[in-house]
A and B are shown apart, each in its own frame.
Chain A
Amino acid sequence: MTSLNNLAVYSDYFVAALLIGGALFMLVGSWGLAKLPDFYTRLHAPTKASTLGMGATLLGSLVWFSVQEESLHIHELVISIFLFLTAPVSAYMMGKAAIHRRRPMAEGTRNAEEAERAAERKGINDRDD
């Protein structure tokens, strides 16, 4: 019984550390979104940091519910796996849309002329507008 009580106390510290870390990552990601100079660097900040922050927050929630109800609660994993799968896809689509809209790049972007070629290249079914 005492070991179970100890587990609850230790898991509280563990969950608190996970929650603080996750919130810090989300804050840094959104700060990068507000601060960075052009769209492509701004795309980099939230899509990585927010998923890491979400992963830590959801892991904290999973641990807390598992310890509290003394059974394994893995349904938070559904959200984190879904986010890990969809965040790169939506980031790719937004980056492709930005390349096709020819958003300006920050000074010193390497291989900037490749973006122009990628924007020129059209698919088979693309209309020419």
Chain B
Amino acid sequence: MLSNVIMICTGMIGLAMLFCLWRLIKGPDITDRILALDTLYINSIALIILLGLYYGTALYFEGALLIAMLGFVSTSAVAKYLLRGDIIE
């Protein structure tokens, strides 16, 4: 039962990532694109967690943690660049 549920959840999160991709392509300004990338990486963390559940291994946890940390750093770096024209002053 749980593998079917994981497949359904994967489909839903894939649809959510398509919405994010649409906003990433269409977004009228660069701030919308940053927000779409931010949502994309959060969705991809959930996708990796679901993959780990599907294979029944905890190995994918480190990948999810890496994506979480790098995603936050890149989002804040780009937002800071937009705000000040510089990242580390």
A binding-site residues for B, Cβ under 8 Å: 12, 15-16, 19-20, 22-24, 26-27, 29-31, 33-34, 39, 42-43, 46-47, 50-51, 53-54, 57-58, 60-61, 64-65, 68, 73, 75-76, 78-79, 82-83, 86-87, 89-90, 93-94, 96-98, 100-101, 103, 125-127, 129
Assess A50 versus B52: contact at CB under 8 Å? Given A15-B2, A93-B75, A96-B83. Answer: no
Cα distance A68–B20 when bound, in Å? 34
> Given A53, A65, A87, A98, which contacts B31 in the complex, CB threshold below 8 Å?
A98
CB neighbours of A29 from chain B (8 A): 16, 39
> Given B39, B53, B83, which contacts A97 in the complex, CB threshold below 8 Å?
B83
Q: Are A100 and B83 in contact (CB under 8 A)?
A: yes
Q: Are A54 and B20 in contact (CB under 8 A)?
A: no
Cα distance A8–B31 when bound, in Å? 45
- For chain B, the count of residues having a C-beta within 8 Å of the partner chain is 48
- Which chain B residues in 73-89 approach chain A with CB under 8 Å? 75-76, 79-80, 82-85, 89
Cα distance A65–B21 when bound, in Å? 32
CB neighbours of B69 from chain A (8 A): 82
Per-residue CB proximity of B47-82 to A under 8 Å, as 1/0? 001101100101001001100110010011001101
CB neighbours of A30 from chain B (8 A): 15-17, 19-20, 39, 43
CB neighbours of B61 from chain A (8 A): 75-76, 79
> Given B8, B38, B39, B83, which contacts A23 in the complex, CB threshold below 8 Å?
B8
* Chain B interface SS verdict (over half): helix
Q: Are B1 and A16 in contact (CB under 8 A)?
A: yes
> Given A64, A75, A78, which contacts B53 in the complex, CB threshold below 8 Å?
A64
> Given A22, A54, A79, A94, which contacts B34 in the complex, CB threshold below 8 Å?
A94
Assess A46 versus B5: contact at CB under 8 Å? Given A26-B12, A54-B46, A76-B61. Answer: no
> Given A20, A53, A79, A125, which contacts B8 in the complex, CB threshold below 8 Å?
A20
